[in-house]
Amino acid sequence: MKKIFTAIVLFALVVLPMSVMAIVTANLTIGTMAWGDSDGFAGYTNAGFVGIEGLNITVHASGRHDGAFSTGGATAIGYMDNDPITIDVGTSDGGASLVRIGLPTFHITVSTLQTDIFVSGVTAGAPTSTVTQQLGAIYMSGIEIRLGQSATPADAASFSAGYVTIGAAGAGNTGVNIGFNVAIDSVSIGTLSYGNTTSILAGSFGAAATAGYIGVTGLNLDDVNIVGGVAIGVGTLNTAALGGTTLGTITQVNIVIANGTTISIPGAITGTVVLAQDQTLTTGAGTLGNFYIGGVTAQIVDNVGSLSTASLIQIWAH
């Protein structure tokens, strides 16, 4: 009876509309994450890896608490004004079914993110020591993302972060189709840097040549909007049947991006470019200058020929 009751509860959670409000803090540490190739390529025929190591990240996600969502007033209800995550499933009159996930008005922060990038050979199927083959180190801190936009910032009820839809790419389970209409109020990164723990000049200048970093401080993006759709499927193509091409019969991941898919940042992208001796861009820091980029729009436009309704990316083994 207990198992039957549990199954009924799980079924109800899947099929009924749901609203979810979450406050989450998570620490993530990954020792090594790599992509490998077992047979290399001409002149480099042994196996190799490229990847990251020593990844550390702390993420906090909760309802917004700025502006109309402030908790500072004596009677303010703050985060209770935030939109929750909503999950619904429906079917159109034409028989197409969709999962629709309403996005919450959320405040996401990442205190720090740092990792080293490497290339290496292998020992017992895993990457060898990467100390001498570092490509560099990436560091980010003070990351804040605020989901949800409103034409009337003082009215919390008017904020919306948009939604994501998930459905079949076509009849016969041909793949997954993802639609998105996402409104991000702002993205800010306190520090973003790339550099090396040792210098490329160390062979000539020894101890006089030490670590160096370049990056951006105070990076801000205002009003980011992402609208469009992408379909993903896996299939096998007989290229000989298309006219005698030499690729043979290949299985591919196919990614179709709908025409009109758009990323727009009507506000400004601003920041300061800095050189420094440490990854936080504080020791011996020197400013190269400030940048301002306004009114950015990137859009997938109409293609020509047989694929005129979408852009296509195909991935296969070689």
Instruction: Give the pLDDT score at 173.
Output: 63
Q: Which of 208, 219, 226, 222 is nearest to 281 (CA)?
A: 219
Rounded average pLDDT over 188-196: 96
- Alpha-carbon 94 to chain mean position: 33
Residue 163, classed as helix, strand or coil, is strand
- Asked if 236 contacts 247 with a C-beta cutoff of 8 angstroms, the reply is no
Please check the confidence at residue 5 and state whether its pLDDT lies above 70: no
Q: Which two structure tokens, joined as six digits, stand for 110? A: 């990442």
Q: What angle do CA 45, 51, 52 make, to 5 degrees?
A: 150
- Asked if 126 contacts 144 with a C-beta cutoff of 8 angstroms, the reply is no
Instruction: Give the pLDDT score at 244.
Output: 66
Instruction: Give the pLDDT score at 318.
Output: 78
Rounded average pLDDT over 202-208: 89
Element (H, E) at 19: strand 18-20
Residue 38, classed as helix, strand or coil, is coil
Rounded average pLDDT over 60-80: 81
Q: What angle do CA 251, 255, 258 make, to 5 degrees?
A: 150
82-127: per-residue pLDDT in tens? 999 999 999 989 888 999 999 999 999 998 899 999 999 888 778 8
What residues contact residue 82 under an 8 Å CB cut-off, 6+ apart?
Answer: 21, 63, 64, 69, 104, 105, 106, 156
Residue 249, classed as helix, strand or coil, is strand
Q: Which of 98-112, 123-137, 254-268 is predicted least confidently?
A: 123-137
Q: Which of 203, 26, 303 is nearest to 313 (CA)?
A: 303
Rounded average pLDDT over 208-226: 95
User: For the CA atoms of 64, 67, 73, 75, what is the dihedral angle to 10 degrees?
Assistant: -70
Q: What b/e readout covers 278-293, taking b as 16+ CB neighbours within 10 angstroms?
A: ebbbeeebeeeeeeee
Rounded average pLDDT over 187-208: 92
Instruction: Give the pLDDT score at 13.
Output: 46
Rounded to whole angstroms, what are the CA distances from 236 to 148, 172, 191, 258, 305?
41, 15, 44, 22, 22
Instruction: Give the pLDDT score at 146.
Output: 96
Please check the confidence at residue 2 and state whether its pLDDT lies above 60: no
